[in-house]
Every structure is written in C-alpha cells, then in structure tokens.
C-alpha cells in the first residue's frame, strides 16, 4: 500500500508551532518555578516520584486511576511519542489530518506512517471502516501495523469525537491488535457544548491504551515543556513503561527541575490554576466561535470547533479567486494567508492532508493582541470580542476572506 504521508513540501524544521494560549504566565506558576530554580537539582528520566504522583491524582480525578510506577514524565509530548514509537515497533497509523508533530517522529525512526480518513463529524479519530481497510491493505502488502495515534479533542480541527464513534474506532483497533496512543493534550480545553466531558479510549480498552497529555494544553505555558504518559496496568504495561524509560534515558529527555516543580503544582489543580484554566477556555472558546462564524460567512468550510485554540478551514469554495492569485495548493495558500494576515497560517499539508487541498489551520491566539498588555486585557474583559484589538484582528481575517469570496463570485461561470 502506498504510504500517504506528504512528500516533504516544506521541511519539518519549518513546521507549525503549537496552538499556544498567548496569555501571560500565571503568577502562582511563576513563583513555584522561581523557587525551584534556586537549586541545581535534576529530575530523573521519566520523572521523579512527586511529579508522577501528581499525575496519578490528575488522572484519578478524570476517572482513570493509575499507580505512579505506570507514569512517565518527559519534556513535552513529542519526546513521549518518540519513545513509545521506538518501544512498540511496527508501522504507525494516524488520522488525516492530525497534529503536525505526530508523523515526523515515526519517520525519524524509519517507521512507515499511514494516514486514515476521518469521518465527517470530527477529526482526531479515524473512521472505523477506513481503519479496518487500511490495516488490511498494509498487511496484504507485507506491512506490520502496530500503533494507532488518535486524539479525542483534536488539533488541528478543534473538534471532539462523539463517544459512539470513539467506541467503534477502539473496537476496530482492538480487533486488529493495534496499540493506541491517546493524545489528550486538549481534553481540558473543551468549551462547547458546555459541560461536555471527552471520553478517553483508556476507559474502553484499559489494557491496550497509553494516554499522553502535554501540559501546554491547559496547565502550563507552551515554553515550559512537560508532559506525562499513563501506561496500562499488568505485565505488558510494565514492559512498555520500562522500554519507554530506556529510550528517554538514552535521549537525556528529562523535565527540567524548575519546570517539573511547576508541573507538579499545576497537576494538583489548586484554585489559581483551575480558575485561570477555566477563564482561558472561555476566552478561546469565544474567539474560536467568532472565528468560525467569520470563516463560514466568507464561503469557506469548517467544522464548528469544540475545544482547544484552533480551527481547520477548507477554502476549496474560494479556489477560483485563489487561482487568480497564483494559489493552487496548501503551501501556496499558507504563504498567501501568512503574508496577508501577518501571522503564521500553516497549510493542511503540515497536518498530513493532501498538498492539493486548500486547507489551513487558524488559531485564536492570533486574535489576542500584539503585546502582553492587550493579551492580559482579554483575560479580564467581560466581552473580549468588543475589545478594539480583537475586533481589528477579526476584521482583518474577514476582509481577506470576503475579498476572496467576492472575487470567486464575480468569476464564477454563468449557468
């Protein structure tokens, strides 16, 4: 079967950054980190006891109890995924589209990566029938599919997988003997519908799922890399945990001690952390909803975002106008919108989509303002959409897209 990872139109080192929250660092977190920075202590590979026990409490509060000897910490989720991919072996399957950082780590290890189509209602989780067909075709051609990476709250689409779809996907993966890595970085950023709680595949397949959570999703600034992984109970989980620790040790992939202290504090979820997280979720949810309305009103397509700080837009309806501007693929669309909006707008090829598809990821962080003062103002404003700098940013997006829509309508062939 032909591998479906994109052919390197734009090197990995120029790939998109994560969807950071763009907000000032919480004072309580800064204080914890500053106190820990006074010592020169080191964290062991996989994390010390304190951060692993804090992660146990975090997952227990979410209905996923775990022992500390089944937890590993690393300087960011990419290090954990690299270690897991190395430890598990075999070919890797990912949804299309998927987080930009998933596939490069498999390629770095020389592992084939196969993209599986997602259903119409959400991203992050492959269509169960497409998954079964892809596995069958890989094996028929001599491949060895072993690992499926998915996310219930997704980057880049900002969608949340319905429980029934997740159940069907998990059952299909289990039937084919796949191990699942569930990236739950954005689990705590769900804003719509209110009160929605994402379901983890670890609740369905407790002996076949490793959960990875990057704390940059909801708890820590993106520049303080820390992530935790939850391994299944039993002998198989113990072996996988040990192999992952071996890889992390070989890489020297330890969380910096001051960041580990901040991570322990954040994972315990004291009131300052949960209050800030809730405020940030409401803010980015408000901005994402407004951004979605702007994109759709201009004639583009996008699933309604439900979590995170991102929106995945399909500009195929605007292709006639984009063609007139010399835009024919996702790389050219990325260049075009980045130049006009003044901030990075990565094309869909960065997320495993076809190069010829006119898709991009938009982020809400770009609407928060150009400096720390404007971004801080967004946190306290009762109506952030009424702030002048937010209105200007949204108006700029609206103007660029509506100009394309109007051009496309003028050039549309008469029926």
Model confidence pLDDT, tens digit, residues 360-402: 999 999 999 988 899 999 999 999 999 999 999 999 999 999 9
Q: Taking a C-beta distance cutoff of 8 angstroms, is the pair 195, 176 a contact?
A: no
Distance of CA 304 to the CA centre of its chain: 16
Three-state SS for 403?
Answer: helix
The per-residue pLDDT of the chain, averaged, comes to 93
Q: Which residue has the tokens 């504090």?
A: 265
Q: Is the peptide bond preceding residue 97 cis, with omega within 30 degrees of 0?
A: yes
DSSP string computed for 344-395: ---BGGGGT--TTS-EEEEEGGGGS-SSHHHHHHHHH-SSGGGSHHHHHHHH
Model confidence pLDDT, tens digit, residues 47-105: 999 999 999 999 999 999 999 999 999 999 999 999 999 999 999 999 999 999 999 98
Alpha carbon distance 254, 233 (integer Å): 23
pLDDT recorded at residue 8: 46
Q: Which residue has the tokens 């996988």?
A: 240
DSSP string computed for 195-215: T--PPPGGGT-TTTEEEEEET
Tell me the pairing of strands 71-74 and 227-230: antiparallel
Model confidence pLDDT, tens digit, residues 199-211: 999 999 999 999 9
CA terminus-to-terminus distance, the chain: 41
Alpha carbon distance 56, 50 (integer Å): 10
Alpha carbon distance 257, 260 (integer Å): 5
Alpha carbon distance 203, 231 (integer Å): 12
Model confidence pLDDT, tens digit, residues 143-201: 999 999 999 999 999 999 999 999 999 999 999 999 999 999 999 999 988 878 889 99
- The residue ranking higher by pLDDT, 18 or 28, is 28
Q: Taking a C-beta distance cutoff of 8 angstroms, is the pair 77, 226 a contact?
A: no
Tell me the pairing of strands 113-117 and 145-150: unpaired
- 62 CB contacts (<8 Å, ≥6 apart)? 187, 200
Three-state SS for 136?
Answer: helix
Residue 124 has phi, psi (to 5 degrees) of 90, -30
Q: Which residue has the tokens 């790939």?
A: 15
Q: Which helix (H) or strand (E) holds 311?
A: strand 310-314
C-alpha triplet 293, 345, 96: angle, nearest 5°:
85
Model confidence pLDDT, tens digit, residues 28-54: 999 999 999 988 788 999 999 999 999
**Cα Rg, the chain, nearest whole Å:** 21
- Report the predicted TM-score, pTM, of the whole model to 2 decimal places: 0.93
Q: Which residue has the tokens 């084919």?
A: 176
pLDDT recorded at residue 4: 46
């Amino acid at each position: 079967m032909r591998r479906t990872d994109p052919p390197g139109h734009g090197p990995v080192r120029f790939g998109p950054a994560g969807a950071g929250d763009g907000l000032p660092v919480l004072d309580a977190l800064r204080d914890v980190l500053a106190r820990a920075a006074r010592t020169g202590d080191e964290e062991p590979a996989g994390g010390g006891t304190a951060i692993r026990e804090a992660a146990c409490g975090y997952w227990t509060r979410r209905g996923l109890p775990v022992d500390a000897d089944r937890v590993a910490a690393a300087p960011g989720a990419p290090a954990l995924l690299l270690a897991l991919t190395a430890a598990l072996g075999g070919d890797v399957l990912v949804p299309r589209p998927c987080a930009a950082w998933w596939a490069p780590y498999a390629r770095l290890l020389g592992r084939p990566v196969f993209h599986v189509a997602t259903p119409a209602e959400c991203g992050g989780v492959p269509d169960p029938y497409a998954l079964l067909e892809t596995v069958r075709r890989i094996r028929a051609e001599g491949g060895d599919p072993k690992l499926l990476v998915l996310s219930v709250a997704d980057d880049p689409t900002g969608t949340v997988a319905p429980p029934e779809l997740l159940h069907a996907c998990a059952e299909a993966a289990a039937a084919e003997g796949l191990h699942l890595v569930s990236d739950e970085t954005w689990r705590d950023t769900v804003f719509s519908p209110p009160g929605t709680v994402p379901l983890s595949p670890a609740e369905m397949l407790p002996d076949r799922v490793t959960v990875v959570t990057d704390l940059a999703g909801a708890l820590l600034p993106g520049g303080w890399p820390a992530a935790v992984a939850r391994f299944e109970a039993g002998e198989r989980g113990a072996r996988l945990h040990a192999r992952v620790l071996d890889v992390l040790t070989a890489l020297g992939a330890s969380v910096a001690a001051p960041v580990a202290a901040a991570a322990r504090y954040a994972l315990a979820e004291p009131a300052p952390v949960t209050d800030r997280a809730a405020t940030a979720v409401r803010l980015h949810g408000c901005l994402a909803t407004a951004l979605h309305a702007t994109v759709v009103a201009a004639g583009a397509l996008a699933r309604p975002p439900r979590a995170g700080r991102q929106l995945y837009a399909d500009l195929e309806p605007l292709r006639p106008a984009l063609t007139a501007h010399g835009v024919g693929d996702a790389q050219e669309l990325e260049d075009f919108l980045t130049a006009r909006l003044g901030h990075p707008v990565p094309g869909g090829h960065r997320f495993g989509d076809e190069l010829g598809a006119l898709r991009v990821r938009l982020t809400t962080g770009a609407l928060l303002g150009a400096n720390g003062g404007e971004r801080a103002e967004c946190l306290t404003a009762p109506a952030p959409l009424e702030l002048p700098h937010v209105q200007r940013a949204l108006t700029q997006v609206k103007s660029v897209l509506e100009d394309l829509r109007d051009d496309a309508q003028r050039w549309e062939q008469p029926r």
